[in-house]
Amino acid sequence: MSDILELLVSAASSGCIYGLVALSYLVMIRPTGIINFAVGEWAAVGLFAAFFLLTNRWLPLPYALALIAAVAFTGLIGWGTQRIAVRPLVEKGAPILGPILALLGMLAIFRESISLIFGPDPHNLPAPFGLRQVSLGPFAGTPRDFFIIGCTAAVFVGVWLFFERTVWGKAFEAVALNRKAAALMGINLRRVTVAAFVGGAAIAGFAGVLYSLTAPRDFLMGLPLAVQGFSALVVGGVGRVEGAILGGMILALAEQLTARYADQIGIPSGMSLGVPFLLMIVFLLARPTGLLRPKEAAA
């Protein structure tokens, strides 16, 4: 029993990271329709920036400050990314595939830049509260797991409040529903796009920071994480913020259950690597809206 509970905690913490990556996609897809595979690279940017800020010889920052600065830096990178690879194409009236492909080019640029600067070795951040086992009620896990879960919950509550309670959030939704009508209503599409990319990048950067707490990561970490995050998004549905975290949790749980129990029914445990793809295929074909439909479609 405690075995299962432990698995739940560890699945929840990796589910949080997938959920954050899915959320990063979501805040960009909703208003712009652009699927940005460079989110994984942004996560890597966040992680390596945090690593640099913590460990550089000249001005090592305190832990919390370094994380915040790294996330802010990734947001800035997000702004630059959309300025270079998205805005010119959107304003030229190119089909939506244009920016998606240009962002694949950006993906290569980010990855190789990181590998140029930091080399091919894996890096990780020191865990914030050590590695001893702690218990919270019946749940046992490392402080790291609880830290990840707590931070993710905070981010999701913040983004949910943004969408539900602020004028900006309403503007995002209006653009998601109808770009032309939103523009006529005086919503500045350019600003919404900028906000989506800066916010998406900051969330991805934060996901990258948390991701590196669980294991050392190298410059190749981006694409697999981007694929897992997208898979979580497809499972949960692109329509709603809650979908991202739900999808992330389901994905992580399915992965960890396969990894632990597949052997017992004769499937190599490595097949758990295939779980995100299998889930993605099944959901794309059987339920392309994901588990949670957008509200306006449900109404």
Partner 1 sequence: MTRAAPWLAAAAAMIAVAFLLKDFGYYSDQYRKLMLWVALALGFNFLFGIAGQVAFSHFAFYGIGAYAVVILTFKAGLPLGVAVVLGLALCAVLAIAVGIAATRLEGFYLALATMAFAQLFLVVLTEGGAVTGGAGGIANYRLPALELGGRRFTLTGPYYTSLIALVLLATFFVFWRLDRSYFGRACRAIRDNPEAAAAMGVDVARTKIVVFTVTSVLAGAAGMAYAFVDNIVNPPVFGLENVFLLLFMVIIGGSGRHAGAVVGAILLYMLPYVLTPLIGHHQALVFGIVMVAAMLFRPDGLVGVYDRLRARYGRGAA
Q: Can residue 268 be called a binding residue for partner 1 (CB under 8 A)?
A: yes
Kindly state the tokens that stand for 210: 């948390």
Handedness of CA 101, 107, 108, 113 (dihedral sign): positive
CA distance 189 to 297: 23
Nearest partner of 191 among 205, 171, 177, 162, judged by Cα? 171
Residue length, the chain? 299
Instruction: Identify residues 133-192 at the interface with partner 1 (CB under 8 A).
Output: none
Nearest partner of 37 among 229, 205, 220, 237, judged by Cα? 229
- Of the candidates 5, 69, 109, 174, which one interacts with partner 1 according to CB under 8 A? 109
Q: Can residue 129 be called a binding residue for partner 1 (CB under 8 A)?
A: no
Site string for partner 1, 88-107 (x = CB under 8 A): xx----x-xxx-xxx-xxxx
Instruction: Identify residues 4-23 at the interface with partner 1 (CB under 8 A).
Output: none
Between 72 and 220, CB nearer to partner 1? 220
Between 60 and 105, CB nearer to partner 1? 105
Span near partner 1 by CB under 8 A; candidates 124-132, 193-201, 243-251, 268-276: 268-276
Report residue 44 CA to chain centroid gap: 11
Between 59 and 285, CB nearer to partner 1? 285
Q: Can residue 291 be called a binding residue for partner 1 (CB under 8 A)?
A: no
Q: Can residue 108 be called a binding residue for partner 1 (CB under 8 A)?
A: yes
> Is 187 in contact with 175 (CB distance < 8 Å)?
yes
Between 83 and 190, CB nearer to partner 1? 83
For the bound state, the minimum distance from the C-beta of residue 224 to partner 1, rounded and expressed in Å, comes to: 9
CA distance 299 to 295: 6
Question: H or E stretch including 134?
Answer: strand 134-136
Q: Can residue 278 be called a binding residue for partner 1 (CB under 8 A)?
A: yes
Instruction: Identify residues 17-76 at the interface with partner 1 (CB under 8 A).
Output: 35
List alpha helices for 119-240, DSSP H: 143-165, 167-177, 179-184, 189-214, 222-236
CA distance 65 to 37: 28
For the bound state, the minimum distance from the C-beta of residue 108 to partner 1, rounded and expressed in Å, comes to: 3
CA distance 88 to 90: 6
For the bound state, the minimum distance from the C-beta of residue 131 to partner 1, rounded and expressed in Å, comes to: 29
- Of the candidates 48, 51, 156, 230, which one interacts with partner 1 according to CB under 8 A? 230
Kindly state the tokens that stand for 200: 């998406």
- Of the candidates 11, 148, 149, 234, which one interacts with partner 1 according to CB under 8 A? 234
Q: Which residues pair with 136 in a beta bridge?
A: 139
Q: Which residues pair with 123 in a beta bridge?
A: 217
List residues binding partner 1 (CB under 8 A).
35, 84-85, 88-89, 94, 96-98, 100-102, 104-109, 111-113, 115-116, 223, 227, 230-231, 234, 268, 270-271, 273-274, 276-278, 280-281, 284-285, 288
